[in-house]
Amino acid sequence: MPATLFRAARLGLVLAASVLAGACGSFDHVSNRIAGSITPYKVEVVQGNFVSREQVSALKPGMSRLQVRDILGTPLITDAFHADRWDYVFTLKRQGVEPQARRLTVFFKGDVLDRHEGDEMPTEADFVATLDNKRKGAKVPVLEASEEQLKKFSAAHSAPAPAAPPAPPPVSADYPPLEPAAR
């Protein structure tokens, strides 16, 4: 009797192995379909200086280099061979969206702004709207503070009166002092 039981168990294991081997092919097919539908996350790549239409319109011939730097920020490219030229380049690469690339070149004569040329720049509001692609039709926040809001902010963040210094912690009788008594 034990030999029949042993043969039956062996036959059961062979049948189970056959079923599992046949299932592997269908499991592999399903896993390939699932893996093909899942795409990896790609990080947004932002490089350079964003320059808005408002910043470009603030540029006037005759401005000093310091004034231009205050308006546009530090240039991305300054060339030792072309000291009278600053290049501002901005690129943005995101998953599912066409890459953006904009360029602005500022030319100086000596230390004075002569002219600028480059791509058509978006307004700040237009640029913010393109960044928020998950909420279509969302309201763009106001990018300027009113005089009333500035007064509220300065009143809320004015320096408080200095508080009394905190009392020294009580000396515990359980622990000896860390430093010896006055010498």
**Residue written as token pair 């009143």:** 155
pLDDT at 96: 77
Question: pLDDT per residue over 92-147, tens digit each?
Answer: 888 777 888 999 999 999 889 999 999 998 888 888 877 765 555 556 667 778 88
**Overall average pLDDT of the 45-58 stretch:** 88
The answer as to whether 25 is a domain residue is: no
Please list, in sequence order, all residues whose beta carbon lies within 8 angstroms of the beta carbon of residue 166, skipping any fewer than 6 positions away.
none
CATH of the domain at 123: 3.30.1450
Tell me, yes or no, whether 95 lies in a domain: yes
Q: How many CA atoms lie within 13 A of 112 on its CB side?
A: 4
pLDDT at 21 > cutoff 70: no
Judge whether 91 lies within some domain: yes
pLDDT at 103: 92
**What is the model's pLDDT at position 55?**
92
Q: Which of 25-34, 59-68, 92-101, 114-123 has the lowest mean pLDDT?
A: 25-34
pLDDT at 26: 62
DSSP output for the chain: -HHHHHHHHHHHHHHHHHHHHHHHHHHHHHHHHHHHH-------EEEE----HHHHHH--TT-BHHHHHHHH-S-SEE-SS-TTEEEEEEEEEETTEEEEEEEEEEEEETTEEEEEEESPPPPHHHHHHHH--SSTTPPPPP-S--HHHHHHHHHHTSPPPPPPPPPPPPPPTTS--SSPPP-
**Which residues share a beta bridge with 87?**
77, 105
Report whether pLDDT(30) > 70. no
Domain range enclosing 111: 45-138
Cα separation, 164 vs 162, in Å, equals: 7
Mean pLDDT value across residues 44-61: 89
Number of residues in the chain = 183
Is residue 170 in a domain? no
Q: Flag whether 164 is in a domain.
A: no
Residue 23 included in any domain: no
**Position 151 in a domain:** no
pLDDT of 86 higher than 70:
yes
Say which range, 57-66, 85-94, 125-134, has the weakest mean pLDDT.
125-134
Position with higher pLDDT, 16 vs 84: 84
Higher pLDDT residue, 23 or 179?
179
| 60 in any annotated domain | yes
Mean pLDDT in residue range 149-173: 71
Domain count, the chain: 1
